Amino acid sequence: MKHSGLSQKIALVTGAGQGIGQAVAKRIADEGAIIAAVDANEDQLQSTVQQMKDEGIRAFAYPGDITDQASVQHIVDQVEKQLGPIYLLVNVAGILRISSIDQLRADDWQQTFAVNTHGVFYVSQAVSKYMMKRSEGVIVTVSSNAGAIPRMNMAAYAASKAAATSFTKTLGLELADYGIRCNVVSPGSTATPMQWALWSDEQGADHVIKGSLETYKTGIPLQKIADPQNIADAVIFFASEQSSHITMQNLTIDGGATLGI
């Protein structure tokens, strides 16, 4: 029996084509929600949505670039018109550019912020304006534990995620008067294509779990990499009636990697 209160509600999920976004979209669908799936990679998005439809899920693809404010507004308007009122927004779309600061290219810095920070702002603003009219809705931003602790060679990613986290909390403060809750889920290392791309060999997971004194990483106390489902479950909690009196919070899911910071 489902207790989230999401049955037949419209949920817009960015970055839904793969990884955490895909897991989140499917998990929300398990609760009976209708999914508006957004991703810049149209092929991956269409494949994911078709898989969901084959499983009997009401899911719809909305290809688009969240770094383009006009495109974002068009997508949100279309979802509201075609599917109905958006009750849940989950900001998942993100990119990672690895480089030491002295070698970091300006366009990598700008693109990272364009997706991870500006995109969160554009989508959240467009959706929240509709939510405010109805005095109803939930927004969850999937950020990163890197937003709370320095990570070598991840300056752009960490800074952009810290900004997205702070933005979402401020959004929650401003929308509280409308009964709209805004929370953050901050994953650590998770089994996704983004994580796998960082590994140089088949021992990649072991290296992450063990940590590295050279790069000041403590490793993962729980001795395992997160599964995307772990992150999706946290999103469901924040989206559900079980968290009806929780807003402006950041739940870190990293197996203890950031030692509770």
Bridge partner list, 253: 187
How many other β-carbons are positioned within 10 Å of the β-carbon of residue 107? 10
Assess contact for 124 and 89: CB atoms under 8 A: yes
Q: Is there a catalytic annotation at residue 62?
A: no
Q: Which of 62, 87, 122, 157 is catalytic?
A: 157
State the virtual CA torsion across 165, 94, 151, 164 in degrees, nearest 10: -10
Assess contact for 85 and 130: CB atoms under 8 A: yes
Nearest alpha-carbon partner for 167 in 250, 230, 78: 250
Angstrom distance (rounded) from CA 238 to CA 196: 27
3-state secondary structure of 217: strand
Angstrom distance (rounded) from CA 21 to CA 45: 10
Angstrom distance (rounded) from CA 95 to CA 112: 6
Any idea which residues carry the catalytic annotation? Answer: 157
